[in-house]
A and B are shown apart, each in its own frame.
Chain A
Amino acid sequence: MSVSNNNNFSKGTDLAVILLYLIMVAVGIMCIFMVEYNPNLDWSNSFLTAKTNFSKQIYFAIFCGFVAIFILLIDSKLFTALANISYVLGILLMLATFVLGKNINGSKSWIPIAGGFNLQPAELCKIFTALILAKFISKPETDFTKLKSHIIAGIMIALPAVLSIMQHELGLALVYSAFIFAMYREGLPPVILVILLSFAILVIATLLLEPTTLAIIITAIAGLFIANMIKRFKRNKNNILIVLAIWAVSFGTVRFAVPYIFNNVFECYQSTRIYSMIGKEYDCSLNKKSASSTSEKKTKKPDDYNVKQSKIAIGSGGFWGRGFLKGTQTRGKYVPEQHTDFIFTSLGEAFGFVGTFTFLALYLFFLFRLIRIAERQRSTFSRVYAYSVVGIFFFHIAVNICMTIGLFPVVGIPLPLISYGGSSLLTFTTLLFILLRLDADRQMVLR
C-alpha cells in the first residue's frame, strides 16, 4: 500500500516494510541480548563501551539507519547506472581477499577495515549481483526466453558463488542459487526447475541408498521407459536416445559426480555435516582436502552437537516458551554460535511455539509484501531486483531456520536482520532500502 505523505522524502516509500524492518532489527537485538544476558554484568557500562555484542549490534543498527536514509535520498537512476561497475568492483574485492583476507572462523573471506571492523565482500556481492542481473535482464536487447540469456545470467551469478566456495564459504555460495526466483519470474522455463529438483532428489538418493542399489533402480526405470516406448511408438530413436542420455547422466551423477563433490569439492566437515543429517558417518580419509591438510584428524565422528543442542533449545521452549531470559540452554551457552547462525534458538526457547510461529508469520508477511512490491513495478529492472531481494531473504530464512531445527545441514548462513553481525545487517539493509527507493519511483521506467 502506498502511503502518501506530504513529506517529499518518504513519498511513495512503503512504510509497512520499514515497520517490519524495524521490528525485525529490534527482535534481533533482543535475541542477542538474551544470548548474552548474565545477571552479574554491568549493562550500562558495557553498553557505553560497546563491549557486548548486543550493544555493538545497536551501534550497527544506528549506522544502518543512516545508510538507509542515505539510500532513500539517492536518485534511483544511480542504481541502474552503477550496476555494472559495482559488480566488477565487488568481484575485485573478493579477489582481493585472497591477498588481504583475514581468517575468521576458518573462512578467509574478510577484509579488515578501520576500527576493528571487518568487511566481507561476498556479502556485498549479493547486492551487486542483484543489480547487474536486473540490469542485464531489463536491457531491451535481452530476450530472456533464449538459452543464451540464461547462460549469461548464470555466469554472472556463478562467478561470485565460485569465488565464495574458494574462500571456504559454502553457505554464501549457496545463497546465489536464490536468484533462480528472479530468473524464473522473468521467463526461465519451468523444465529447468524440474530438472534441478530431480537432480536434487538424485543427490539425496545417492547419499541415502547404496550405490549399487541405486544404479539398479535407475537402470530399471530407464529400462521400463524404453520398453514402454517400444510398445507404444514402435521405435522412436530420438526418445530412446533421450532416455538413455538421462540414464547416463543419472548414473554418472550417482557413481562419479556426487562422490567427487563430497570428496574433492566439499571440506571434510561439510561432508560430515551432510552425512550426519541423514544419520550416516562420513569417512574423512576419502576427502582430498583433509588429506592434504595434515593437522586435521583423518576421521571424525558425525558432529551433530550443534544441531542436537539447537533442537533441545527450540524443543524445550514448548508451546509458551520458557520466558524472557529464562531459557536454560541459552543461559548455559549450550548452543554454539548462538548469537549468529543459531540466533533462532534463543527465540524458540524463550517464547516457544507461539514466538516462533509469530516470528515466521511476520517474515512470511514481509516476503509476500516484497513480492507484492515486485509485481507493482513498471520497470523490469526494479522487478528483477525485487525478486532477487525476495529470493535472497527467503533463502537465508529458510536455510537458517531449517538448519537450526534439523531439516538442513549446518551451513554458515545468518538469519537476516536478526543474527549478530554488522556486515550481514548492512547488506540486508542496503538490499532492502534500494528496493524501497526503486519502489518509491515505481512509476518511472528504469533502464
Chain B
Amino acid sequence: MTDDTTGLVLFTVKVAVVATLLILPPGVAAAYALARWRGPGRGFVDTVLALPLVLPPTAVGLVLLELLGRNGPLGRMLDAVGVEVVFTPGAVVLASAVMAFPLLVRSARSGFEEVDPRLVAVARTLGDSRARAFFRVTLPLAWRGVAVGALLAFSRALGEFGATVLVAGNIPGRTQTLSLAIFQHTQLGQDARALQLAGIAALLAFVAVYATEGLTRWRGRRVRA
C-alpha cells in the first residue's frame, strides 16, 4: 500500500471508531428507554430515530449542513465559540455518527427487550439500586445486542457517503474517506485505483461483518451451554 492508501484507510477506520464510540452512550440510553418505556410517544420517537435509515443519506447531510453551516442555528452558536464543523474531519465523524445511530439503537433495543424485567426486580430485592442493577444484570444480559449494534454502526460508518459528502465535502487528505475516494477516482476515470480501494473497503467490511457474526454465535453458545 502506498502512503496515500494507508492514510486513507487509517482515516476511514478512525472516523468509524470515533463515530461509534461517540454514539455508544446516547445510543445505549435511547435503546434502553425505548425498550422499557410503555407510555405514549413511543411510536413517534421510534420512527424519528429510524429516519436516517430510510431517508436518502444526502437529505440527512443536507439537514446537518443547514443546522451546522455558518448561518445555521447550531453553526452560529458554534461559530461564536470559535468552532467550525462543516467541511472538517469532525463533520465526517458527525455525518457517520448520525447515519449509524439508528442501527445501534435498533439492535441494542432488541437486546434490552430480551431481558426479563423480573430479573431486575430480583436484583433490587438483593440490594441493588436501579443503576447498579442495570450494570450488573440488564447490560450484561443485553450485551450481545449492544455489541452487535456497535459493530453494525461501525460497518455503516465505514462506508458512509451521501451525508458525509454534503456536510464534509470530499477533500483529499482532510475529509476524504475510502468511499469518497472511490467516487472521486471513478469520476476521474481512474478505474483501476477506484477498484483497488473498493477491494480494501470490501476487506474492511468483511472483517467487521465476520466479527459481528462471530459475536452472535459465541454469545449464543455461552448462554445456552
Q: State whether these chains interact.
A: no
Give the interface of B toward A (CB within 8 A): none
Give the interface of A toward B (CB within 8 A): none
